[in-house]
């Protein structure tokens, strides 16, 4: 009897084809990645341009130029000036594969993974170590009882501790983390049921794209970003647990972030590591200089007692001192870079650079601002990201005026945005910035 070789059988041929051909999932994923090369901006940029006022020569000229650009251009180009803040969280669940793909498709040249760690010390993308209760479906799963502060209920089944619930990545393992789904950020801290608690999306955002939210490890985000051809700006999030954590020190944590880029063979010039902790930036400058030379110091000193962003005498360290120790990029909230000029005449601008912005440039520091389109409608006063110009803005069209001053007068090298299409549109039309 002749013995057939494995490949001479139908099953053998099928196995060979399976090894030689990509799966449908792989093909679909490759098509999605290829689609992000074709930049699409959607209706929002034009909507904002139409909302601009024409009170001054500056606003009239800017509106006219942007309208003409919208009418004449269609070949939108990716730009490093447009930085996807958490992906595209104005409408997509933050730090999910879907949000990152949306950010890239809207022309962001740099994407952000906020980096924290799980109970088994694996790095994952989350804005905070302890935000799972507000950004994922963890409370609807059996993992809820592993939370640092799990939900509690009275004898009638009503939620009793909505304001205290807290779930952290360090409460669960990586395997458990990967079973969760991302949702739009938000929680109703006065809710009496889990369903109501989880239905906390601000009404000026949307749940339209929240039906699918794929969580990612830091390493997975690197591979996705590489495939889409974008640069990367990981933020080392401050731990909410005591460090060292299970033997991992803060220095180990900072090093682990860089090591994952090295393992993936990412060029250091394509990575902008960030931290609010100056010690982390100093660590990268000293121990990983190829990454540290473009590390980003996120400035939140506005929370420190005695700090006044308009008074250089209160800044410690000073801009020059930061530059002297090797810091090259500083990143404050955008309001710290701007001041209002309510007495501007018809030929002037009602938004001008702040003293903070001027001193940073004088010291030779590059500037990145955060975060554009993070606030609700500007028709409502008191929006945090526009607090220094609140008295001279009154519509969403004023976001483009703000963007113009940041780009042309302040000279920022890039701008984090919750909806990168708007920044990409501006940069393509005005040819200002990176």
Which CATH number goes with the domain that contains 100?
A: 3.20.20.190
Q: What is the mean pLDDT of residues 322-345?
A: 98
Residue 421 tokens, joined: 């299409």
pTM of the model: 0.93
Decide if pLDDT at 204 tops 70.
Answer: yes
- Of the three residues 160, 185, 214, the one that is the final residue of a domain is 214
Residue 300 tokens, joined: 């939140």
- Of the three residues 181, 214, 247, the one that is the final residue of a domain is 214
- On whether the CB atoms of residues 399 and 48 are closer than 8 A, the answer is yes
In a domain, 13, yes or no: no
Q: In angstroms, rounded to a whole number, what is the distance separating the alpha carbons of residues 320 and 155?
A: 61
Per DSSP, the residues of 305-372 read TT--TT-GGG-SS-HHHHHHTT--EEE-BGGGGEEE-TT--TTS-SEEE-HHHHHHHHTT-EEEEEEE
DSSP state of 269: G
Angle subtended by helix axes 97-105 and 218-228, to nearest 10: 30
The reply to whether 226 and 152 lie within a common domain is no
Domain that holds residue 208: 129-214
pLDDT tens profile 262-293: 999 999 999 999 999 999 999 999 999 999 99
Please list, residue by residue across 220-232, b when 16 or more beta carbons sit within 10 angstroms of its beta carbon and e when fewer do.
Answer: bbbebbbebebbb
The reply to whether 198 and 346 lie within a common domain is no
Q: In angstroms, rounded to a whole number, what is the distance separating the alpha carbons of residues 434 and 428?
A: 10
Amino acid 26: pLDDT = 64
The reply to whether 229 and 156 lie within a common domain is no
The reply to whether 278 and 378 lie within a common domain is yes
Question: Which of helix, strand or coil describes residue 136?
Answer: strand
What does residue 109 show for φ and ψ, rounded to 5 degrees?
-90, -15
Amino acid 22: pLDDT = 54
The reply to whether 205 and 224 lie within a common domain is no
- On whether the CB atoms of residues 233 and 273 are closer than 8 A, the answer is yes
Number of domains in the chain: 2
pLDDT tens profile 90-127: 999 999 999 999 999 999 999 999 999 999 999 999 99
Amino acid 382: pLDDT = 84
């Amino acid at each position: 009897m002749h013995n057939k070789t494995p490949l001479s059988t139908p099953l053998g041929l099928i196995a060979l084809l399976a090894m030689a051909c990509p799966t449908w999932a792989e093909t679909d994923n490759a098509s999605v990645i290829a689609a992000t090369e074709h930049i699409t901006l959607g209706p929002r940029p034009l909507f904002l341009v139409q909302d601009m006022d024409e009170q001054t020569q500056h606003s009239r000229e800017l509106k006219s130029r942007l309208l003409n650009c919208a009418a004449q251009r269609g070949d939108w180009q990716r730009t490093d000036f447009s930085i996807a803040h958490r992906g595209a969280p104005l409408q997509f669940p933050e730090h999910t594969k879907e949000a990152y793909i949306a950010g890239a498709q809207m022309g962001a040249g740099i994407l952000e993974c906020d980096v924290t760690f799980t109970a088994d010390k694996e790095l994952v993308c989350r804005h905070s170590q302890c935000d799972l209760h507000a950004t994922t479906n963890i409370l609807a799963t059996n993992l809820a009882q592993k939370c640092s502060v799990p939900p509690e209920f009275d004898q009638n089944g009503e939620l009793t501790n909505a304001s205290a619930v807290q779930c952290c990545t360090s409460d669960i393992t990586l395997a458990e983390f990967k079973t969760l789904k991302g949702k739009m950020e938000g929680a109703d801290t006065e809710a009496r049921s889990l369903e109501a608690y989880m239905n906390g999306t601000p009404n000026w955002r949307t749940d339209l794209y929240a039906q699918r939210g794929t969580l990612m490890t830091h390493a997975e985000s690197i591979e996705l970003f590489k495939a889409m051809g974008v640069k990367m700006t990981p933020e080392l999030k401050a731990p909410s647990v005591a460090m060292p954590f299970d033997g991992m020190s803060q220095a180990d944590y900072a090093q682990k972030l860089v090591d994952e880029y090295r393992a993936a063979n990412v060029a250091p010039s394509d990575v902008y590591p960030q931290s609010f902790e100056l010690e982390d930036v100093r660590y990268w400058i000293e121990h990983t200089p190829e990454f540290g030379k473009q590390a980003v110091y996120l400035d939140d000193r506005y929370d420190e007692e005695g700090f006044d962003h308009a008074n250089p005498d209160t800044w410690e360290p000073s801009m020059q001192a930061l530059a002297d120790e090797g810091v090259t990029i500083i990143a404050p909230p955008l309001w710290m870079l701007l001041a209002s000029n309510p007495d501007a005449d018809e030929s002037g601008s009602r938004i001008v650079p702040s003293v903070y912005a001027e001193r940073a440039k004088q010291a030779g520091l590059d500037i990145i601002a955060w975060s554009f389109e993070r606030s609700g409608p500007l028709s409502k006063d008191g929006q945090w990201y526009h607090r220094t110009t609140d008295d001279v803005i009154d519509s969403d069209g004023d976001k483009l005026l703000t963007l113009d001053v940041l780009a042309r007068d302040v000279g920022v090298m890039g701008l984090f945005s919750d909806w990168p299409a708007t920044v990409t549109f501006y940069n393509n039309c005005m040819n200002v910035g990176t």
